[in-house]
Amino acid sequence: MIERAGAGPQRRLVLLRHAKSAWPEGVEDHRRPLAPRGLRDAPAAGRALADAGALPDLALCSTAERARRTWELAAGQWGTPPPVHYDRRLYAAGVPDLSEVVREVPGRVETLLLVGHNPGLGDLVLELAGDGLDDTLERVRVKFPTSAIAVLTWRGTGWPALAPGSALLTSFIVPRGHKGGEKRRKAGGGK
């Protein structure tokens, strides 16, 4: 059971898995670029974050090429992107390393974005979420696909206080870009 009325401001931890990457022959994993679908999905992730009102105060991004490019394309959808710090510890990180990086975040940051990899990001969501709205937790358990965004909320005086089971998974979305020539339909519009 999570405590919904903790001390301190409401904080949000937003987790974005890098967009779909390519597998070019002879390219080491850390340098793999985005695939064409990833180049479409990363900006869609940026728009989804803006539409959800989940723009971060600070972004921490893996140093892998596919994560860096996902960040650049997503943040390019916003007027003024927040500061970003590239941290090699986020590359292929598990829950202990991800948790350590989060605990180091300054207390003034209320919304933090991590851009990284799976299975670490999905595992971190499951570790921190004591509960989820609707079917969000079940969907994360099934799959945390490329470009997926999870939003965890919690109250606390600082990031070191974010403990297992203490957050609420409020949103889990998987934005997808459209192939060339397709137009996005507005909600409620047309067939």
Alpha carbons 190 and 85: distance in angstroms, whole number: 42
| 102, 159 contact by CB (below 8 A) | yes
**pLDDT of amino acid 8:** 74
Q: Is this structure's pTM higher than 0.85?
A: yes
Alpha carbons 186 and 178: distance in angstroms, whole number: 13
In this predicted model, what pLDDT tens digit does every residue of 93-114 receive, in sequence order? Answer: 999 999 999 999 999 999 999 9
**pLDDT of amino acid 3:** 40
**pLDDT of amino acid 114:** 98
Q: Which of 112, 116, 103, 124 is nearest to 55 (CA)?
A: 112
pLDDT tens digits, the chain, 191 residues: what are they? 334 445 678 999 999 999 999 999 999 999 999 999 999 999 999 999 999 999 999 999 999 999 999 999 999 999 999 999 999 999 999 999 999 999 999 999 999 999 999 999 999 999 999 999 999 999 999 999 999 999 999 998 899 999 999 999 999 999 999 876 444 433 333 33
**pLDDT of amino acid 133:** 95
Q: What is the CATH number of domain 10-173?
A: 3.40.50.1240
Cα within 13 Å of Cα(156), Cβ side: 24
Alpha carbons 91 and 57: distance in angstroms, whole number: 21
User: CA angle, 10 as apex, 187 and 119 as ends, to 5°?
Assistant: 70
